Chain A
Amino acid sequence: DIQMTQSPSSLSASVGDRITITCRASQGIRDDLAWYQQKPGKAPKRLIYGASSLQSGVPSRFSGSGSGTEFTLTISSLQPEDFATYYCLQHNSYPRTFGQGTKLEI
């Protein structure tokens, strides 16, 4: 199985900050990676697919990069509604595997 190691597991930040979350794959997954945002009590929502393509309707302050084994999700200027938990997902091989999540807190 491909292990997805996400860091940090939690992050304290302020409105207006720029933050970066990293996901490392235990083996190369090309760009078969998506990023999701989950707010408490809600279903996850896809933000990024193909490692760097922005999902329609998602604000441009979100961006993704990387290929192979190292990937990043960047939020350029945090807004109050961005405080949530973020997950990466690899879909290069089975079983699909998620990172353990990054909780973004004020």
Chain B
Amino acid sequence: EIQLVESGGDLAQPGGSLRLSCAASGFTFSDYWMSWVRQAPGKGLEWVANIKEDGTQKNYVDSVKGRFTISRDNAKNSLYLQTNGLRVEDTAMYFCARGGHRPDPWGRGTLVTVSS
């Protein structure tokens, strides 16, 4: 069974940082692009970033470029999202998902709240 389990979400102050993690199991992690997608409370889905199987290609939505960094460790079957310079508008549930084009399946998400 494919499982994606996110962690690392927390309450952060504006300007702060968090490192989100996604532990993958049930498939060959190194064979797949991976993605992060977020959803602000009561709002729609927003694609954040994706990363190629070997980590050599990374893509970001403009609103997080220069602040967020996606990475992966294929030896640990793990995906990461380093979030720096957090803003109130980054408050959201962050989902990791398998695939870089039409991701599926998704994890259950980890909640990031940015507030002073």
Contact = CB atoms under 8 A, between A and B. Distances in A.
B44 A49 contact: no
A98 B49 CA distance: 13
B59 A87 contact: no
B46 to A, nearest CB: 7
A8 interface: no
Contacts of A44: 37, 45, 95, 106
A95 B47 contact: yes
A46 B102 contact: yes
A97 B37 CA distance: 10
A95 B64 CA distance: 11
A32 B100 CA distance: 12
B47 A34 contact: no
Given A43-B108, A95-B59, A95-B61, A49 B46 contact: no
A94 B100 CA distance: 11
B62 interface: yes
Contact of B47 (A46, A49, A96): A96
Given A43-B106, A44-B106, A94-B59, A32 B101 contact: yes
Chain A at the B interface: SS class: loop
Interface string A23-39: 00000000010101010
A53 B95 CA distance: 24
A53 to B, nearest CB: 10
A43 B109 contact: yes
Interface string B48-64: 00100000000111100
A94 B51 CA distance: 12
A75 B107 CA distance: 25
A21 interface: no
B46 A34 contact: no
Interface of B: 35, 37, 44-47, 50, 59-62, 95, 101-109
